[in-house]
Chain A
Amino acid sequence: MSVTPQDVEKVALLARLTISESELPEVTERFSRVLNLVDELNTIDTADIVPMSNPHDMEQRLRPDQVTRGNNREALMASAPSQEQGYFLVPKVID
Chain B
Amino acid sequence: MSWEIVMGLEVHLQLATQSKIFSGSSTQFGASPNEQADAVDLGMPGMLPVLNEEAVRYAVKFGLGIGARIGERSVFDRKNYFYPDLPKGYQVSQFFAPIVSEGVFEVPLEDGTLFPIRITRAHLEEDAGKSVHDIFTHETGIDLNRAGTPLLEIVTEPDFRSADQAVAYLKTLHSLVTYLGISDGNMAEGSMRCDINISLREKGSEKLGTRTEIKNVNSFRFVERAIYSEYERQADILESGGTITQETRLYDAENNVTRSMRSKEVANDYRYFPEPDLLPIVIDEAYIEAVRATLPELPGAKRQRFIESYGLNDYDAALLVPHHDMADYFEAVVKACNAAKPAANWILGDLSGALNRNEVSISESPITAERLAGLITRIEDGTLSSKLAKQVFDAMWDGEGDADDIIAARGLKQVNDSGALEAMVDEVIANSPDQVAQYRAADEAKRKKLSGFFVGQIMKASQGQANPQILNALLLKKLDDQS
Contacts and interface: CB of A to CB of B under 8 A. Distances in A.
B53 A65 contact: yes
B92 interface: no
Interface in B385-423: none
A88 B142 contact: yes
Contacts of A73: 34-35, 37
B482 interface: no
Nearest to B58: A65
B267 A14 contact: yes
* Chain B contact residues, majority secondary structure: loop
Contact of A88 (B34, B261, B269): B34
Interface stretch (B199-207, B279-287, B320-328, B336-344): B279-287
Identify the interface centre among B19, B139, B143, B264: most chain A CB within 10 Å of its CB: B139
A84 B143 CA distance: 11
B462 interface: no
B210 interface: no
Contact of B38 (A69, A84, A89, A90): A69
Interface stretch (A23-31, A38-46, A56-64): A56-64
Interface string A49-73: 0000110101111111111110111
Nearest to A52: B274
Contacts of B32: 86
A53 B80 CA distance: 17
A68 B280 contact: no
Contacts of A68: 19, 24
Contact of A53 (B53, B82, B280): B280
Contacts of B143: 86-87
B19 A67 contact: yes
B38 A87 contact: no
Interface stretch (B130-138, B167-175, B185-193, B449-457): B130-138
A54 B279 contact: yes
A91 B82 CA distance: 14
Contacts of A62: 50-53, 56
A48 interface: no
Give the interface SS of chain A, mostly helix, strand, loop or mixed: loop
Interface residues of B, number: 58
A14 B267 CA distance: 7
B136 A65 contact: no
A47 interface: no
A67 B141 contact: no
Contacts of A56: 279
A93 interface: yes
Given A53-B75, A88-B144, A94-B133, A63 B34 contact: no
A67 B39 contact: no
Given A65-B18, A93-B131, A88 B267 contact: no
Given A87-B142, A94-B133, A64 B53 contact: yes
Contacts of B141: 84-85, 87-89
Given A63-B24, A85-B141, A87-B142, 17 more contacts: A14-B80, A53-B280, A61-B51, A62-B50, A65-B19, A65-B54, A66-B19, A67-B18, A71-B35, A76-B38, A89-B136, A89-B141, A92-B138, A93-B84, A94-B133, A94-B263, A95-B263
Interface of A: 10, 13-14, 16, 53-54, 56, 58-69, 71-73, 76-77, 82, 84-95
19 contacts: A54-B279, A59-B279, A60-B280, A62-B52, A62-B56, A63-B24, A66-B18, A66-B24, A68-B19, A69-B19, A69-B24, A72-B38, A73-B35, A76-B34, A84-B139, A86-B143, A87-B143, A88-B34, A89-B142
Interface of B: 17-19, 23-26, 32-39, 42, 44, 50-56, 75, 80, 82-84, 97, 131-133, 135-136, 138-144, 250, 261-264, 266-267, 269, 271, 274, 276, 278-282
Closest 5 CB pairs of A and B: A68-B24, A87-B141, A65-B54, A62-B53, A86-B33
